[in-house]
Structure 1
Amino acid sequence: MKARHIQHLYFRAGFGIETQTLESLSLKSRHEVVRQLIKDSSNVEHLRIDLSELEALMNLEYRQLKNRETTKSVKALVTKSQKKLINFNVAWIERLTTSNAVLAEKMTLFWANVFVCRDNNIWYMQRYNNLLRSNALGNFRDLVKEVAQSASMSKYLNNRQNVKESPNENFARELMELFTLGIGNYTENDIKEAARAFTGWSFRLNGDFFLRRFKHDNGEKQFFGKTGNFNGEDIIDIILEQKQCARFICEKLYRYFVNPVKDIDHVEELTNIFYADYDIKNLMEYLFTRGWFYEEKNIGAKIKSPIELLVGIHKVVPVAYHQKQQLIYLQKLMGQVLLYPPNVAGWKGDKSWIDPNTLMLRLKLASILLNDAIIDMDVKGELEDDFEDFYREKANRKRFIKTTKSWGIFDSKYEGVSFEALKDLLIIASVDKDTEHFMSSLEVSDKRAYCIQLMSIPEYQLC
């Protein structure tokens, strides 16, 4: 398999590739490389942070919360929970940077922007994140059902308030509009009937799903031309019977992994594969072994998300932040904070990542992290809890991001790599003539400095 095609695969299925991995794969066929990529993601470990102080309370029954002291303890732990979300964000970035299960982790990131959810309860959110991770390359039917029964999604879209006396349509609507079918592919009556089927769905304090039977509507429902005493799982099964469901997901997947500009024929090709069994692993193997995936028009056609950009730099030169809030701050400045999607539709992606402010920051990011450059811009929008206070003062807006750089790891990895080979390894997009002229004019004899320069050119923003 061509080295350039392997690089393209690993930029899309992961966050780049190291020279040793590239060399070891270059003698293999495309199918062998893709199978190895998938095999590396066959055993995925859950991502966990220390939540031991929450465990005792989260395993109580709701009736036990009537005790005043217990209620006070819960409120105190909710505050701690919000701070723990910062720890989980940092741990997630670290997992994306270091995991060998690159495809499973990239798919987890993808699904997190399909089944968009936000929750200030770290216990539930950690479970939700690992739900996405466990099913990232599994069966889509299982994924949808587990998402629907999760505590975080139930809270986020008010499904716990959905009872037969007063159906709440929020989850049923978003399930079809944003998660499975797309707007215009269902009726208002479908929403009403689906909401009835999901009545009584709830969760225990520890996050386990349970059905409140007396709150569930056992009456007959009509949904997509079918009539029956449907429950929520039946509704999901009927939705997946619609080929539009497979098409909707394949369109999202194509834009994320292939090209922001949709190719109708290729999407339909993927749809036919996915609709047969909704097996995500089979779909990804099919996609990554297609010749059209490696066409030049698809290489370097994507603007990296802020997370892809951050993780990509971290993989080349590992960095440790002296204060966790600084990593959150960088994400906020660039417009993508993990665990904090802007709304239920998620991040738009592609060109929405770029505006005059974010572009300058993105171009300067490698220097900020690796060369102690100064950030000089204001953060916009809401910030969460303690990192809001941290950057409120004007004095903090012009500041260094203090990191410990593991240049020794970089030196050992790229010791025998020429400057030209390093450029080819880090830059997948075609380099503009003006950029080529600029790079050739640099009198750089230090590989570390050259690496920072490479990660500061416009073409590094693409993958």
Structure 2
Amino acid sequence: MNRNSLWSLRLGFSNKQASTIENLGIKKFLEQSFRVPFDNNIPLFLADSPKTFAELKEMRQMAKDADGEAKKMLLKASNSTNVEMKSWWIDKMLNDEFPLKEKMVCFWHNHYVATYQKVKVNYWIFQHNQILREHAFGNFKELTKQIVQSNAVVRYLDNTDNKKGKINENLSRELLELFTIGIGNYTEDDIQNGAKGLAGLGIGEDKATYRKREEDNDPIIYFGKKGVFKIDEMVDIIFEQKNIPYFVTRKILKWFIYDEPNEKLVTYYGDYFRSVNFEIKPLLTKIFTEEFDKNTAGSKIKNPLEYSLQLISELNIDIKNNAFIANFAKQQNMDLFNQPNVKGWDGGKSWLTSQMYLQRNNLSYILTNGRILNQKLLKDPSKMDSPKMKEVPVHLDWTKGNNKQIIAQLSDRLLFQVDESSQKDFESILKYDFDENAKNADQAVLRLFSNMIKLPEFQLI
């Protein structure tokens, strides 16, 4: 695979940025990616969603007073808004000139999990997503402080039930186990005392706030320090711990490059992360520029978004409704805003079970045949010949040449490697006497493309 194509996929979701990486070089490409402005506008699909306590209280009262059918309609409307939010986010992934920010937002989204299924307030989920976007390339410590004080996280991890004399340890535990230092680097006393420091941190208008009647102001011992600590002070103490940089550095390497990162690399980049005071931008710059020069193709299984968005981009399909992509990702166990548990998506080999591989091939079959995309087709592509199914334009970009040149150009942007057997198969599809100017030339190259994307080698980057 061409190195620029490989890193276009790793730093985004398609091959779109390959020429930009080639022209700018990886360092300048990263600099421009980091400069993408933060958009703090509230999308129109949230217009009718409650955003204040008064609006939320009013809607909950409506739901309480409504009959069975009306309750169903309210729930349907809320679920529909959540689907629109998924589509809005996928549109950013598909169309942003420098999609690294959205790739990083998705990383943090799976690091600081808070699901719509439990939180049940779309605006809080949107706020959570926006915090991740605003601080995507900022400071890890500051991001942790901001996200733990989001209404979504406080609600998701049950800190609304954490009160003096009635302690709930969920947020305190996950702050350590999943957000910062990982298992084995804290004690049960740290969790219990941390929960006391978080007692009373509940839902607020714009972010979580402490409630005086419910907070615990007794001194605690937290990682060996004694005092009355609240969330900001607690995070400061956590970030003084020896193992703080390695947990998230390992996850970043896994998200972008290696399904099984080498521990020496984790330590190397983790030590650097500490030296730059947990600033994310210089860490990413160091990782991407240094790993760019290595031969690392094939070290990571594409997640469902990387797989599907690459296909849509390659085929130049104009998706009218991104909900289809969200549904495919959900079918592949990558449901945006609804991870299976607080640990998030496992990634790696979990993306490529035999069932998921079959689903991916179904998707590729539907897309390359240019059919309207819906769930019925996704589950059973044999129905795609139904007269009710409308076609969508499909156009594969390729540069004219002989059969081996065309095979090489597609391989360079699609496959991390091509063995002798595969090469022979490709040449049997696009024969030595292939006429690049023939009327059916596009269809012949599309058949070659269709064959390539069904290979295991297409699943890896």
**Is the TM-score greater than 0.5?**
yes
1:200 CA displacement: 1.1
Q: Which residue of 2 aligns with 1:268?
A: 267
What is the CA-CA distance between 1:5 and the residue it aligns to?
3.0
Q: Is the 8 A contact 1:318 1:405 kept in 2?
A: no
- Residue number in structure 1 paired with 2:145: 145
Note closer, same or farther for the CA distance 1:17–1:44 as it changes in structure 2 (3 Å cut): farther
Note the C-alpha offset of 1:185: 1.0
2:235 counterpart residue number? 236
CA distance in 2, matches of 1:47, 1:246: 33
Tell me, what secondary structure is at the counterpart of 1:184? coil
Which amino acid is 2:28 matched to? E
Instruction: Quote the residue 2:94 is aligned against.
Output: 97
Q: Deviations along 1:195-231, whole A, 9 cap, x unmatched?
A: 1111111123x55332212211111010101111101
Equivalent position of 2:423 in the other structure: 436
Residues 317 and 405 of structure 1 are in contact (CA less than 8 Å); yes or no, is this contact kept in structure 2?
no
In 1, Cα distance between equivalents of 2:324 and 2:108: 26
Q: Write the distance in 2 (CA, Å) between the matches of 1:185 and 1:252.
A: 16
Counterpart Cα distance in 1 of 2:192 and 2:382: 52
| SS of match in other structure, 1:218 | coil
Give the direction of change, closer, same or farther, for the CA distance of 1:127–1:374 in structure 2 (3 Å limit): closer
Return the alpha-carbon distance in structure 1 between the equivalents of residues 289 and 409 of structure 2.
26
SS of residue paired to 1:351: helix
Gaps of 5+ in 2: 432-440
Q: Secondary structure at the match of 1:117?
A: coil
Residue-by-residue CA offset, 1:280-299 (whole Å, 9 max, x unaligned): 11100111121x44322x21
Kindly tell me: are residues 26 and 308 of structure 1, through their superposed partners in 2, closer, same or farther at Cα, counting changes over 3 Å?
A: closer
SS at match of 1:144: helix
Distance 2:232 2:100 in 1: 28
| Cα distance change of structure 1 residues 49 and 366 upon mapping to structure 2, 3 Å threshold | farther
2:178 match: secondary structure: helix
* 3-state SS in 2 of match to 1:338: coil
Q: CA deviation at 1:177?
A: 0.8
- Report the residue type matching 1:100 in the other structure: E
Cα distance, 1:269–1:325 mapped onto 2, change above 3 Å? closer
Aligned-residue identity in percent: 26
1:92 and 1:218 mapped to 2: Cα distance? 41
Residue number among 303, 309, 313 corresponding to 1:305 in the alignment = 303
Please report the TM-score for the alignment, with normalisation by the length of structure 2: 0.84
Equivalent residue for 1:35, pick from 11, 16, 31: 31
CA 1:438–1:67: 2 relative to 1, 3 Å: closer
CA distance in 2, matches of 1:67, 1:33: 47
| Deviation digits for residues 370-418 of structure 1 (CA, Å, limit 9, x no counterpart) | 315899xxxxxxxxxxx9xx87xxx98964496764535x55xx46686
Are the equivalent residues in 1 in contact too, given 2:400–2:406 (CA < 8 A)? no
**CA distance change for structure 1 residues 47 and 428 in 2, over 3 Å: closer, same or farther?**
farther
1:59 maps to 52
Q: What secondary structure sits across from 1:109 in the alignment?
A: helix
**Partner of 1:109 in structure 2?**
106
Distance 1:115 1:69, change over 3 A: closer
Verify the 8 A CA contact 2:372 2:391 in the aligned structure 1: no
Distance 1:403 1:366 in 2: 17
Are residues 66 and 50 of structure 1, via their aligned partners in 2, closer, same or farther at CA, if it must alter by over 3 Å? Answer: closer
- 3-state SS, counterpart of residue 227 of structure 1: strand
Letter in 2 for 1:213: K
- Residues 370 and 393 in structure 2, CA contact (< 8 A), matched pair in contact too: no
Letter of the 2:166 counterpart:
S
The change in CA–CA distance for 1:24 and 1:218 in structure 2 (over 3 A counts) is closer
User: Which 5+ residue runs of structure 1 have no aligned equivalent?
Assistant: 376-386
Mapped to 2, the partners of 1:260 and 1:64 lie a distance apart of: 45
CA distance in 2, matches of 1:67, 1:8: 48
- Whether the 8 Å CA contact 1:319–1:404 is kept in 2: the answer is no
Q: Structure 2 CA distance, aligned partners of 1:23 and 1:321?
A: 23
TM-score, normalising length: structure 1:
0.84
Residue 324 to residue 7, structure 1, CA distance change in 2 (3 Å): closer
Question: Which piece of structure 1 moves more, 254-263 or 190-199?
Answer: 254-263
State the 1:63 CA deviation.
10
Q: Residues 441 and 325 from structure 1, CA distance in 2 versus in 1: closer, same or farther, beyond 3 angstroms?
A: same
Return 307-316 or 182-191, whichever deviates more.
307-316
In 2, Cα distance between equivalents of 1:89 and 1:246: 31
- Distance change (3 Å), C-alpha of 1:396 and 1:356: closer
SS of the residue 1:241 aligns to: coil
Q: For residues 12-23 of structure 1, what are the structure 2 equivalents within 5 Å?
A: 12-18=10-16, 21-23=17-19
Q: Which deviates more from structure 2 when the two are superposed, residues 224-233 or residues 443-452?
A: 443-452
3-state SS of the aligned residue for 1:160? Answer: helix
1:302-451 correspondence to structure 2 within 5 Å: 302-320=300-318, 326-371=324-369, 399-400=383-384, 405-407=392-394, 410-411=396-397, 414=398, 419-420=406-407, 422-443=409-430, 445-446=441-442, 447-451=445-449
| Equivalenced residues, count | 436
* Change in 2 beyond 3 A, CA 1:139/1:158: same
3-state SS in 2 of match to 1:289: helix
Kept after mapping to 1: 8 A contact 2:131/2:147: yes
- Partner AA of 1:168 in structure 2: N
Task: Please say if residues 47 and 130 of structure 1, whose CA atoms lie closer than 8 Å, have aligned partners that are also in contact.
Answer: no
Matched, 1:44 2:76: no
Change (3 A) 1:238 1:428: farther
Which whole-Å CA distance do the structure 2 matches of 1:23 and 1:396 have between them?
36
- What's the counterpart of residue 246 of structure 2? 247
- Give 1:80's match in structure 2, choosing from 74, 77, 81: 77
Measured in 2, the distance between the counterparts of 1:344 and 1:155 equals 13
Q: Rate the CA distance shift 1:348–1:35 in 2: closer, same or farther, 3 A.
A: same
Aligned to 2:130: 130
